Copies of this chain bind each other. A is one copy, B any other.
């Protein structure tokens, strides 16, 4: 009985009961799936995320990319310098507001989008999941993320 009481009290601390660990470990699992695919493009996963943002719209300041990806300049500045060294982007100070650095795609950076189109399909296969299932999970996770950010943000 005492034994069982203890086990019950320990439930909230059990690793397998933690949704945060599920998400943490799933993020690593995705990273492992993406790695060989992105190696061919010459991108890391966070660099791929930045490129996704830029393929939607480039010529944007660092801050906008950071807000989109929930990353700050401490992460983005060196990452963007590596993307510039790889010739995928160009960083230029804004004329209108010299505090801002605008990020634009180079022709190779634009061209990389075509090579990247193969990636999502291969990840989909690895997930062994249907698009509607993934979409539903995605919406739940985004809603959870936004509530967590709201709880911290205020």
Among B45, B116, B127, the residue within 8 A (CB) of A13 is: B116
A150 to chain B, nearest CB (A): 8
- Which chain B residues border A152 with CB–CB below 8 Å? 29, 32-33, 126
CB atoms of A142 and B29 under 8 A apart:
no
CB atoms of A23 and B120 under 8 A apart:
no
Contact status of A147 and B120, CB under 8 A, knowing A18-B52, A23-B27:
no
Interface size class of A (residues with CB under 8 A): 35 or more
CB atoms of A56 and B15 under 8 A apart:
yes
CB atoms of B128 and A147 under 8 A apart:
yes
Q: Does A22 contact B (CB under 8 A)?
A: yes
Among A19, A135, A148, the most chain B Cβ lie within 10 Å of the Cβ of A19
Contact with B along A28-54 (1 / 0, CB 8 A): 111011100000000001000100110
11 inter-chain pairs at a CB distance below 8 angstroms, sorted by A residue, are: A10-B55, A13-B117, A15-B52, A17-B135, A18-B120, A22-B145, A24-B30, A26-B144, A32-B148, A33-B151, A128-B150
**Residues on A facing B (Cβ under 8 Å):** 9-10, 12-15, 17-30, 32-34, 45, 49, 52-53, 55-56, 68-70, 113, 116-117, 120-121, 123, 125-129, 134-135, 137-138, 140-142, 144-145, 147-152
